[in-house]
Structure 1
C-alpha cells in the first residue's frame, strides 16, 4: 500500500524513515542542516550522523542504515540521492528507492516513510520527483506499507 500525505516526515508512525542524504563525501559536521537531515539532527540528535560518517563515501543511489537516535523508529535509511554537484537524476531517485526497500527487507521492517527524494536540495521539480518515487515504489514495494510525505509546514 502506498499513501501520499502532506506533513512532516518525522511525524509518521512507521518502522523506519528514509533520509534523502548525499554521497557522504563531505563530513556531516561541515554541512548546514537543511531539509530532512536538518530536522533529523534537531529532533533525533547527532548519533545517526556519527554512524553515517563511519560508513565512508556512498555510491550514487546507495542506501545505508543507522540507528534513529532519539526518534521512535527502528532505524533510519539514508539514501545517496544527490551527486557531488547537489543534483538528483531520475536514475539516482529510482536507485535510492530500490536500495532503501532492499535495506528495509533485510531488517524485516514493514512500514516506511519516504520524503520526495530529489526535490529540495536535489533540484528536481516536486511533481516529477513524486512521480518517480511512486513509480519506483509501485515496482518494488509490494509487501510494504509506504507513506510518501510531501513536506508542508503546519
Structure 2
C-alpha cells in the first residue's frame, strides 16, 4: 500500500528494516543509545560495533538523547548512509504526553534526514514493543505526523522522495495499510 503526498511516496511493508533498500533507517532506541532488544538490537547486531562506538561518542558529548529527540550515526556494516536513532515514549496510560512525544520522534527524525539530504527513509513501529504504546494509536500518530510534515513543506525544502514504514509484525503491517488508505 502506498500513497503520494507532495511528490513523496509514503508506503508500508512487512519485513526486516535492516535489509530495506534506501538511504537512511530510523532506529527505535533507548535514551542511552545502548543496543537493546527488538529493532534496536537487530540494527546494532547487523550494523556491527561501529554504530555502538558512535552512540558512545554521542553519550559522552550530550549524555544520550531524550524521548522525542533524534541523533544520527553512520550505518556501520549496514548498506545505508546513516541510522537515525530516536527515543519513543514509554506508555503510561496516555496522560503523560506520550502521543506528543511519539509525534516528535517522527518529526525530529524527518528533520534530521532532510538536513542530511536523504531521499529515502524507513521507520519501524516506534514504542509499540516493550514500551507498550497502543499499536492503533501509535500507527495513527506516525501517519498523521509524517503526512502532515510532508504536506506542510515546499518541494524545495524536502529532498525526500520516499518514506516507508517497515513493520516487522504482520498485524502492524495490516494496521498501517488499513489506516494509510484513510489518507489517499
* TM-score normalised by L of structure 2: 0.73
In 2 relative to 1, CA 88–6 (structure 1 residues): closer, same or farther, beyond 3 Å? farther
Do the aligned partners of 1:89 and 1:118 also contact (CA within 8 Å) in 2? no
Counterpart of 2:139 (choices 120, 130, 146) is 130
Q: Distance in 2 between matches of 1:127 and 1:9?
A: 20
1:47 Cα deviation from its structure 2 partner: 1.2
Q: More helix by proportion, 1 or 2?
A: 2
Residue range with higher mean Cα deviation, 88-97 or 100-109: 88-97
Q: CA deviation at 1:121?
A: 2.0
Whether contact under 8 Å (1:81, 1:88) holds in the other structure is no
Aligned mate of 2:49, from 28, 46, 51 = 46
Q: CA shift at 1:88, angstroms?
A: 8.8
Contact 1:88 / 1:124 at 8 angstroms: preserved in 2? no
The one of 163, 169, 173 aligned to 1:152:
169
Q: What is residue 57 of structure 1 aligned with on the other side?
A: 64
* Larger Rg computed on CA atoms: 2
Which segments of structure 1 move beyond 4 Å, counting only runs of 4 or more?
Answer: none
TM-score scaled by structure 1?
0.86
Question: How many residues are matched?
Answer: 146
Deviations 1:56-112 (A, max 9, x none): 2212210110010100000000002135x9x99211210010000010111100100
Structure 1's unaligned 5+ residue stretches are none
Any residues of structure 2 matched to 1:8-19 within 5 Å, and which?
A: 8-19=16-27
CA distance in 2, matches of 1:44, 1:6: 20
Secondary structure of the corresponding residue to residue 41 of structure 1 = helix
In the alignment, which residue of structure 1 is the partner of 2:107?
A: 98
Deviates more, 1:133-142 or 1:87-96: 87-96
Structure 2 gaps, min length 5: 1-8, 152-157, 171-184
